[in-house]
Amino acid sequence: MIQLSLYLQNPDYRNFVQRPIDLGTIKNNLSDKAYESVEDFASDVRQVFINCSEYCKPRGKEARAGVRLSAFFETQLTELGLDANEGRTTRSRRT
């Protein structure tokens, strides 16, 4: 479940993000063994970065951090031999 504080701090979040997911939810899903495959896990992590790029201002520190963390994630996934070939680049729609 998405953390309620996310919505309280950012009431317009759902105006920009259509599929909310956060790292806390991913952590819980990992603990609960809810992912059936690496691809399912990677898809959720990538969605976090997509949401970041959609919600955060394009040149803001959060968006830049999201891009760097996304690149790190994709590199680690590849180095571990777990690359699902689903990596994608997104651009912010927020101005």
User: Counting Cβ atoms within 10 Å, is residue 39 exposed (0-12), middle (13-18) or buried (19+)?
Assistant: middle
Provide mean pLDDT across the span 14-39. 93
- Contact indicator for 68, 28 with CB cutoff of 8 Å: no
Separate counts of helices (H) and strands (E) for the chain:
5, 0
What pTM was computed for the model? 0.78
Residue with tokens 């909310």: 20
14 vs 24: CA distance, rounded Å:
18
Tell me the percentage of the chain whose pLDDT exceeds 70.
79
Q: Answer whether 26's CB lies under 8 Å from 2's CB.
A: no
List, for residues 34-49, the tens digit of each pLDDT value: 999 999 999 999 999 9
Q: Residues 62-88: pLDDT tens digits? A: 899 999 999 999 999 999 999 766 544
